[in-house]
């Protein structure tokens, strides 16, 4: 059985937890630096701060459920030794000729078409479509309902700009 710990306990974290369960993971809970350990969020527990990730048993996979691109990048770089899960919702359509980077989350009813490259630790959100031949850089967030067609997208890692 695959187990997953989610870094980030906000609303996006709950969405990611549901995607994880739909793809066969058992969710251990959230790691979050701002929510007290033991807090329950939609039936999932906050295990403690992010730094506790290295104390979880071997074999646990991780995913970052934080919307801010710069924060997602900082966490990924700080904990580069973790085993990052890539989650694809069962209702998403992802071409077998596309490439999806580690730590990326593809949400419900999203489409990633052929010859597309999606980087590491990206969010392709609900109902987003990334058309053929696109290149989505590391840490990008493609917002719900966005359609990207034949572009190269690189994340602007500022606190103000969170998604395309």
The CATH number of whichever domain residue 119 belongs to comes to 2.160.10.10
Return d(Cα 48, Cα 129) in angstroms, integer.
35
**Boundary residue ending a domain (20, 52, 78):** 78
- The reply to whether 91 and 70 lie within a common domain is no
Q: Evaluate if residue 162 carries a pLDDT over 90.
A: no
* Residue 163 located in a structural domain: no
Asked if the model's pLDDT at residue 76 lies above 60, the reply is: yes
91 and 65 share a domain?
no
Of the pLDDT bands very low, low, confident and very high (cuts 50, 70, 90), residue 67 is very high
CB 157 within 8 A of CB 139: yes
pTM, 2 dp: 0.92
- Cα–Cα distance between 27 and 18 in angstroms, integer? 9
> Does residue 159 lie in a domain region?
no
Same domain for 6 and 62? yes
54 and 114 assigned to the same domain: no
Q: Would you name the residues annotated as active-site residues? A: 132
Give per-residue pLDDT as tens, 83-139: 999 999 999 999 999 999 999 999 999 999 999 999 999 999 999 999 999 999 999
Length, in residues, of the chain: 164
Region of 19 please: left (phi>0), alpha (psi -120 to 50) or beta. Answer: alpha
Is 98 in the same domain as 54? no
Residue 162 lies in a domain: no
Specify whether the CB–CB gap between 137 and 125 falls below 8 A.
no
Q: In this predicted structure, what is the pLDDT of residue 88?
A: 98
Quote the Cα angle for 21-137-17, to 5°.
Answer: 15
**Domain span at residue 126?**
87-153
Q: What is the pLDDT of residue 149?
A: 87
| Residue entry with tokens 């701060």 | 49
- Who wins on pLDDT, 152 or 81? 81
What average pLDDT does range 7-25 have in this prediction? 97
């Amino acid at each position: 059985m695959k187990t997953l710990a989610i870094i980030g306990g906000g609303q996006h974290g709950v969405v990611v937890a549901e995607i994880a369960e739909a793809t066969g993971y058992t969710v251990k809970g959230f790691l979050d630096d701002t929510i007290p350990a033991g807090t329950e969020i939609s039936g999932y527990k906050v295990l403690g701060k992010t730094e506790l990730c290295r104390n979880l048993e071997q074999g646990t996979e991780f995913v970052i459920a934080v919307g801010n691109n710069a924060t997602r990048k900082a966490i990924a770089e700080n904990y580069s030794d973790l085993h990052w899960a890539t989650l694809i919702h069962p209702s998403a359509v992802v071409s077998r000729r596309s490439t999806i980077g580690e730590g990326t989350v593809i949400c419900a009813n999203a489409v990633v078409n052929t010859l597309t490259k999606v980087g590491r630790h990206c969010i392709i959100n609900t109902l987003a479509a990334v058309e053929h031949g696109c290149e989505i850089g590391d840490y990008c967030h493609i917002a719900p309902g966005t359609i990207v067609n034949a572009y190269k997208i690189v994340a602007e890692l500022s606190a103000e700009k969170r998604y395309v």
